[in-house]
Amino acid sequence: DYGIEQLFFVNSEFNIERRYCEELIAAMIETGRSWRWSDCCRPKMWGNDFFSRTRRAGCEWLTWGLDTASSRLDALYRHGPTRKIFADILHASRQAGIRNAVNVIVGMPHEDDADINELLRFLKKHRNQISYITVLRYVFIPHSDIGIRPERYGLRITADGRGVDEVGKRTWSEHQAWASRAFERVQALAIDINYRK
């Protein structure tokens, strides 16, 4: 109605349901308009044809929530796709001409140098499929699952209620000091990838 052809969806539901995606993409292609758009996606692999049609519908960027490349942390907190599947998704999307942005979180409880090294290796290995990395610092949210059931994750709420101690390991303040250094390491790589010539 208004001649708008460039847009940014903020829609965490975009690729949860395949039928929704297929209908949206088909409708955008059917208009014959020169759409230019981007969106946030959950890491699911629906095949190269999905990414080709998404690009044909005008998609230029997709943002993926990698969060961590540590299989140990992923099993503890999220149970997301394997790193192999995530790498395949990035490759298929990039092959279709779509740029990939990746969000990572640094400083999750129980995270250590081995987890950060695993993340850095993954990002370096797949840097040609990644156009932009956003590095986020873990923030304790009292109403999250960690805040409601900390014992499930081997954690204990701090006396002031502003964080979590690792039971039998680091205190929240010790972890925060470590997380600051880890953030700098990951941010340095992100800057190198984001602003490469």
Q: What percent of the chain has pLDDT over 70?
A: 98
pTM (global) more than 0.75: yes
Residue 185 tokens read as 């390491």
Residue 90 near residue 130 (C-beta atoms within 8 A): yes
The pLDDT assigned to 13 comes to 65
CB-based contact 61:101 (threshold 8 Å): yes
Percent of the chain with pLDDT over 90: 76
Give the pLDDT confidence score for residue 197 in this predicted structure: 54
pLDDT of residue 132 exceeding 80: yes
- Confidence check: pLDDT of 12 > 70: no
List the structure tokens of 104.
Answer: 């990572």
Largest CA distance in the chain: 61
- How far, in Å, CA of 91 to CA of 86, rounded? 9
Q: What are residue 38's DSSP bridge partners?
A: 8, 61
Cβ neighbours of 75 (radius 10 Å): 10
State yes or no: pLDDT of 153 exceeds 90: yes
What's the CA gap between 24 and 137, in Å, rounded? 33
38 vs 129: CA distance, rounded Å: 16
Q: Are 108 and 136 in contact (CB under 8 A)?
A: no
**DSSP letters spanning 49-82:** HHHHHHHHTTEEEEEEEEE---HHHHHHHT----
Q: Which two structure tokens, joined as six digits, stand for 147?
A: 């805040």
Would strands 36-41 and 59-67 be described as parallel, antiparallel, or unpaired?
parallel
**How is residue 136 written in tokens?**
């986020």
Per-residue pLDDT tens digits for 14-28: 777 888 889 999 999
Provide the 3-class DSSP secondary structure of residue 128: helix
Summarize the confidence of residues 177-184 as an average pLDDT.
Answer: 97
Lowest mean per-residue pLDDT among 13-17, 33-37, 91-95, 117-121 = 13-17
For residue 133, name the pLDDT band (cuts at 50, 70, 90): very high
Taking only the tens place, the pLDDT of each residue in 31-42 is 999 999 999 888
**Amino acid 156: pLDDT:** 97
